[in-house]
């Protein structure tokens, strides 16, 4: 069975500071990993997935298979980054089933 | 393209009743997944349908069921409602071709069981 852990329930930073949201996973196979974001009063939306190797809104995430981590990083946080962030795993052989972490509420102070 | 839509957006039911929620996927998407979101348990996978067939199922009791129609629209049904079924129910659609695809979420249906 797979599991996703986001150790920080709450994370506060000041505008312009670097931010890192941690995500650790356990899964024996090759997973697909995602970061989803939910802004206030908006639906859950994809931020990025590891296979794309993209930088979205300044965020990046690197899959570290040795440490089984997929931390989300941004060098300079903005107030509009304040939101709930979910790390999610999809087994490579199991379509349509995402396992989510508990989420991290990021607050960026002015 | 229009996003994933869910109806109704809000529902109030009493214990013992049953409820049906509807989800219309993004045009061209053939996979629909359902999730339950609660403050205590977070986001939990219910089931996934593709081409009218259930391909995956989470750890929920048999009171939770679903189906998918030929136009990829999906419904989920909860029978004999319990207080603990109060939650936000999300559906997500994906292309699901050539491997696990990105899931796009609807706004959810908020169910309150009294």
Contacts of B34 in chain A (CB under 8 A): none
How many Cβ atoms from other residues are within 10 Å of residue B14's Cβ? 10
Q: Express each pLDDT in B71-108 by its tens digit.
A: 999 999 999 999 999 999 999 999 866 556 789 999 99
Please name the residue of chain B whose CA is at the shortest distance from the CA of residue A97.
B45
SS3 A14: strand
Q: What is the pLDDT of residue A95?
A: 72
Residues in chain B: 114
Mean pLDDT computed over B26-47: 94
Q: What is the pLDDT of residue B100?
A: 63
Average pLDDT, chain A: 92
Q: Which residues of A touch B (CB under 8 A)?
A: 32, 34, 36, 43-46, 49, 86, 90-92, 94-103
Report the alpha-carbon distance of residue A17 to residue A80 in Å, rounded: 13
Q: Which residues pair with A74 in a beta bridge?
A: A19
Q: What is the pLDDT of residue A55?
A: 76
Q: What is the pLDDT of residue B97?
A: 63
SS3 A12: strand
Mean pLDDT computed over B31-42: 94
Comparing CB atoms, the residue among B48, B90, B104 nearest residue A95 is B48
Please name the residue of chain B whose CA is at the shortest distance from the CA of residue A30.
B100
Q: What is the pLDDT of residue A1?
A: 81
- Pairing of β B104-105 and β B109-113: unpaired
How is residue B48 annotated by DSSP? E
- Give CA B71 to chain center in angstroms: 16
Residue B8: is the preceding peptide bond cis (ω within 30°)? yes
Report the alpha-carbon distance of residue B43 to residue B40 in Å, rounded: 9
Comparing CB atoms, the residue among B56, B99, B104 nearest residue A97 is B56
- Residues B33, A101: C-beta atoms closer than 8 Å: no
User: B89 CB near a chain A CB, below 8 Å?
Assistant: no
B5 pLDDT higher than 90: yes
Is there a contact between B76 and B58 (Cβ–Cβ < 8 Å)? no
pLDDT above 70 coverage of chain A, percent: 98
Q: What is the pLDDT of residue A2?
A: 87
Is there a contact between B88 and B11 (Cβ–Cβ < 8 Å)? no
Q: Which residue has the higher pLDDT, A51 or B55?
A: B55
Encoded tokens for A53: 């190797």
Least confidently predicted of A3-7, A47-51, A73-77, B67-71: A47-51
- Residues A96, B50: C-beta atoms closer than 8 Å: yes
Least confidently predicted of A74-88, B25-39, B71-85, B86-100: B86-100
Is there a contact between B74 and B52 (Cβ–Cβ < 8 Å)? no
Average pLDDT, chain B: 93
């Amino acid at each position: 069975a797979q599991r996703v852990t986001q150790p920080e329930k709450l994370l506060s930073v000041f505008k312009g500071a670097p931010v890192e949201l941690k995500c650790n996973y356990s899964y024996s196979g090759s997973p697909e990993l995602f970061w989803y974001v939910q802004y206030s009063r908006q639906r859950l939306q994809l931020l990025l997935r590891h296979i794309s190797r993209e930088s979205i809104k300044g965020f990046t995430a690197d899959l570290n298979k040795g440490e089984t981590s997929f931390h989300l990083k941004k060098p300079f946080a903005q107030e509009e980054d304040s939101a709930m962030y979910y790390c999610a795993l999809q087994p490579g052989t199991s379509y349509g089933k995402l396992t989510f972490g508990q989420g991290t509420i990021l607050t960026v102070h002015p | 393209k229009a996003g994933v839509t869910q109806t109704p957006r809000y529902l109030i039911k009493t214990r013992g009743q049953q409820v049906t929620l509807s989800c219309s996927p993004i045009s061209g998407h053939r996979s629909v997944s359902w999730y339950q979101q609660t403050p205590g348990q977070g986001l939990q996978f219910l089931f996934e349908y593709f081409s009218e067939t259930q391909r995956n199922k989470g750890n929920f009791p048999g009171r939770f069921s679903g189906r998918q129609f030929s136009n990829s629209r999906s419904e989920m049904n909860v029978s004999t409602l319990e207080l603990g079924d109060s939650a936000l129910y999300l559906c997500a659609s994906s292309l699901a071709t050539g491997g696990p695809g990105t899931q796009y979420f609807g706004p959810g249906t908020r169910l309150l069981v009294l």
